[in-house]
Amino acid sequence: MKILILVFLVGICRVTTVTHSLKYFYVASSQVPNFPEVVVVGMVDDVQIIHYDSNTRTAVPKQDWMKKVIDDDPEYFKRSSNIFMGQEQTFKDNIERLKQRFNKCGGVHIYQVMYGCEWDDEMNEVKGYRQYGYDGEDFISLDLNTETWIAPKQQAFITKQKWDNNKARTAYLKDYHTRICPKWLKKYVNYGRRSLMRKDLPSVSLLQKTPSSPVTCHATGFYPDRVDLFWRKDGEELHEDVDKGEILPNHDETFQMSVDLKILSIPAEDWKKYDCVFQLSGVKDDIITKLNKSLIRTNEVNRLSRTIRIFVAAQVVVLAVITVVGFIVYEKIRIRRPPSPVENREVQEEMLPKA
């Protein structure tokens, strides 16, 4: 798997197992405008927990529950800042070396490191990994089983020889990835258990503006944002005639997402072959919504309802006008005709002096 700078900027792919993970991403860059030369991001279960960059030179917590670390280790963030700061020059030197090896000295260059561990809390199994990349391509990685380095590119062979000969460093890295890293991971999971274990399922709706518009599968109210939402046909995920939207935040700390399906070329008899699938990381069962006209909420219905309401309101107005006009005409007629004997007597009695 290639290590890309965007991996921690746009999110991590969905993980369907109950395995917990601790990952660190280091990115050193050269001639990237408006971007720090060195950025470090730490993540637990794909949730960012710590951030550092060469502009601020300060490691900061990205989750409130990470501040609990200070209770057990008051110097944690200061020590982390010093570690990251001390590696800045090493990263810059590595970029300069790799520029020479790849014979590309000008332009933008990116040096990346990804390392961490995974822990299955049910089986109590741990697994570590460490990979290096350059300009978006794999450069070298550590095989913890053989305690040797794998170099997929010729330019990395010199580094492989050097690091294979450093047995003490390799032994330390194996100990870190199989013992130290899982120890910290378990501690982080304990700190943020309430947040990390939170799973909110969404409400899923099918929406459509007009009969010829795409059908939108809209999921809202889910948490966390490690999800996938897609259309499929006959159980196979669709990539054509599909437009997937971004994950957006709601006001209540949950998220929403939508994916459109173009239906103009789909025969009515084939609709039953399509469905929308929502998948949430750590949740076994998917939410499946069939493509069914009876389930689609459309503006056409809303327009009909509005038309009916307008018609009824118009009828009420007309009736009111008729009533008012009728009353006015009646009054004019009543005033013009002479009073009846009964009416005349009542008026006269009102005019008599009281006893």
- CATH code at 254? 2.60.40.10
Strands 248-249 and 255-261: antiparallel
Same domain, 161 and 18: yes
Residue 198 is predicted with a pLDDT of: 85
Residues of the chain short of pLDDT 50, as ranges, are 1-17, 301-304, 307-308, 318, 325, 329-330, 333, 337-355
In a domain, 28, yes or no: yes
End of a domain among 196, 212, 242? 196
In a domain, 352, yes or no: no
DSSP output for 78-90: HHHHHHHHHHHHH
Same domain, 53 and 84: yes
Same domain, 269 and 175: no
Same domain, 15 and 153: yes
In a domain, 326, yes or no: no
DSSP output for 301-331: HHHHHHHHHHHHHHHHHHHHHHHHHHHHHHH
CATH of the domain at 185: 3.30.500.10
In a domain, 220, yes or no: yes
Left (φ > 0), alpha (ψ -120 to 50) or beta: where does 57 sit?
left
In a domain, 336, yes or no: no
Which structural domain, as residue segments, surrounds residue 280?
Answer: 203-298
Determine the 3-state secondary structure of 244 from DSSP.
strand
In a domain, 321, yes or no: no
Same domain, 50 and 168: yes
Same domain, 169 and 226: no
In a domain, 222, yes or no: yes
Same domain, 35 and 160: yes
H or E stretch covering 29: strand 20-30
In a domain, 309, yes or no: no
Neighbouring CB atoms inside 10 A of 24's CB total 17
End of a domain among 181, 196, 211? 196
Same domain, 181 and 214: no
> Widest CA span of the chain, in angstroms?
132
Q: What is the DSSP letter of 136?
A: T
Q: What are the tokens at 142?
A: 């550590």
If one counts the domains in the chain, the total is: 2
Same domain, 34 and 181: yes
Residue 15 is predicted with a pLDDT of: 39
Same domain, 189 and 48: yes
Same domain, 231 and 179: no
Same domain, 102 and 82: yes
Residue 320 is predicted with a pLDDT of: 54
End of a domain among 298, 325, 350? 298
